[in-house]
Structure 1
Amino acid sequence: MKIISWNVNGIRAVARKGNLQEIFENERPDVLCLQETKAHPDQLTAGMRHPEGYFSYFSWAEKRGYSGVATFSLHEVTSFRTDFSESRFGNEGRILITEHPDFLLYNIYFPNGKASKERLQYKMDFYQICLADAVAQVENGRNVIICGDVNTAHTELDLARPKENAKVSGFLPEERAWIDRLVDAGFTDAFRLFESDGGHYSWWDLKSRARERNVGWRIDYFFVNEALVDRIESATLLTDVYGSDHCPVCLELL
């Protein structure tokens, strides 16, 4: 099974550029998870809402043009939900949890904490509830895959300039500590099973043309619970795919 996660920074934009169709045609993922779609379903063409051969699931923000996630699956899911156990987070369209035969897939667009202290606190609260929700599912005997734009680089290996960003949201100690807690709770960063060094990024600032110089951050992840680790065949960054300031990330399971 191939699962791809991609912050598209606007689904309509990547569709116009042809990049979205390229993912479907060239990669043919079993499941494609998109973040930051920036659209309600009624703003999408029929082809974007229902790519040929796929079942479509959406979560959108009350505010138009903001946030939003979508999951496209070759097989119809058993169920889906658009919030954690606490309903306060559902209105921003950041959460889409789909139930597949042998795992739950959390497609999450985690908040950015740069705007204000209040948004940073919102981000930390969101993190806490997400972890509690996922751990509860594992404790109930389910396998869990968490993917999406986490909006935090975990270690100094995960961004090009860690010292310069030590006091910037996205690399703050408390944000990084949450990923530590996620790992301590039994979730594995799939990419790090295959790559132990730095220089591998999934987001680059467009204005400074940072992608050309590979001055970036790795903030897009797949985390899997312990029982699924032995089934991971590969975890890669699709850095040759353009159309967004993020590149897609890919997980393949046996």
Structure 2
Amino acid sequence: MRIISFNANGIRSAASKGVFDWLRAQRADVVCLQETKAQEDQLGDPQFRPDGHHCFYRDASSKKGYSGVAIYAKREPDEVLTTLGWEPFDNEGRYIEARFGRLSVVSLYVPSGSSGEERQQFKFKVMDWLAPILDAWLGSGRDYVLCGDWNIVRSAKDIRNWKSNQKNSGCLPEERAWLNELVERRGWVDSYRTLHPEGEDYTWWSNRGRARENDVGWRIDYQIVTPGLRERLKSCSIYRAQRFSDHAPYTVDYAD
């Protein structure tokens, strides 16, 4: 089973840069997109409904052309969920879940706090609110793959400029403690770090300067899975050869 997670930073922009040609060649079973930045009625072109895939979008209703998530699946899901029960979060189009038997694949877009204090405080509220939901999923007996842009690095290995970013959103001690609590104590599994314990690869680079060329990046895109899937992790990769977005697609192969 192959699952790809990708923050498109505008699905129409990424499409113009060839992401759908690339995706077609990957033969993924499930593709999770974040930051589609479009309403579904703007995506009438057939390329936004790839052949052989069941396609589901959850747009932002609070602000058009903002946020948004999607899932493409080869197999038709038994159920698709698009709300978690808190309108300020749900209305920004940050969650969609496809269920296949006892497996759930989620496309999740955790807010960024980089635009200012108000959004940082919203991000903290989201983190506090999400924690018991994630605990419930962990104890549900279902297998979960949480794909998405979490907008948080975990450690110095996940960011090039560790010291200079300690006061910046995404690298704040409170944010890292929250994510590391989920992975190191609650039991969630970071697929990349499990497969590459000493890896120092990134999934996002600023558009400023020559950050991407100089690999001054952050690892903020994850596939975080329930413990039962740990032994099924086969391999993972971050695709950088083409630039579809300020993020790179993150692919994980799971044993069937």
Answering whether residue 235 of structure 2 is matched by residue 250 of structure 1, we say no
Pairs within 5 Å for 1:49-64: 49-62=48-61, 63-64=63-64
SS at match of 2:57: strand
Query: Size of the alignment, in residue pairs?
Result: 253
Partner of 2:204: 203
Partner of 1:28: 27
Answering whether residue 74 of structure 2 is matched by residue 47 of structure 1, we say no
For structure 1, the residue ranges without an aligned partner over 5 or more in a row are none
Q: Shift in Å at residue 22 of structure 1?
A: 1.6
Partner of 1:107: 107
Pairs within 5 Å for 1:86-125: 86-125=86-125
Q: So what's the TM-score if we normalise by structure 2?
A: 0.94
Q: Shift in Å at residue 16 of structure 1?
A: 1.6
Q: Quick one: which amino acid aligns to residue 109 of structure 1? A: Y
- Paired residues of 2:60 and 2:92 also in contact (CA < 8 A): yes
Pairs within 5 Å for 1:128-207: 128-183=128-183, 184-207=185-208
Q: Quick one: which amino acid aligns to residue 193 of structure 1? A: T
Comparing 159-168 with 60-69, greater Cα deviation is found at 60-69
Q: Shift in Å at residue 80 of structure 1?
A: 1.5
For 2:88 and 2:212, the matched residues in 1 are separated by 36
SS at match of 1:97: strand
- Paired residues of 1:189 and 1:223 also in contact (CA < 8 A): yes
- Paired residues of 1:41 and 1:49 also in contact (CA < 8 A): no
Q: Quick one: which amino acid aligns to residue 246 of structure 2? A: D
Pairs within 5 Å for 1:207-222: 207-222=208-223
Partner of 1:83: 83
Partner of 1:225: 226
Comparing 151-160 with 42-51, greater Cα deviation is found at 42-51
For 1:11 and 1:88, the matched residues in 2 are separated by 23
Comparing 121-130 with 184-193, greater Cα deviation is found at 121-130
Q: Shift in Å at residue 198 of structure 1?
A: 4.7
Partner of 1:235: 236
Comparing 28-37 with 41-50, greater Cα deviation is found at 41-50
Q: Shift in Å at residue 107 of structure 1?
A: 0.6
- Paired residues of 1:149 and 1:219 also in contact (CA < 8 A): yes
Deviation readout 1:212-237 (Å, 9 max, x if unpaired): 11110000001111111111111221
Q: Quick one: which amino acid aligns to residue 48 of structure 1? A: Q
- Paired residues of 2:203 and 2:247 also in contact (CA < 8 A): yes
Q: So what's the TM-score if we normalise by structure 1?
A: 0.95
- Paired residues of 1:95 and 1:108 also in contact (CA < 8 A): yes
SS at match of 1:164: helix
Q: Shift in Å at residue 195 of structure 1?
A: 1.5
SS at match of 1:135: helix
SS at match of 1:80: strand
Identity of aligned residues (%): 38
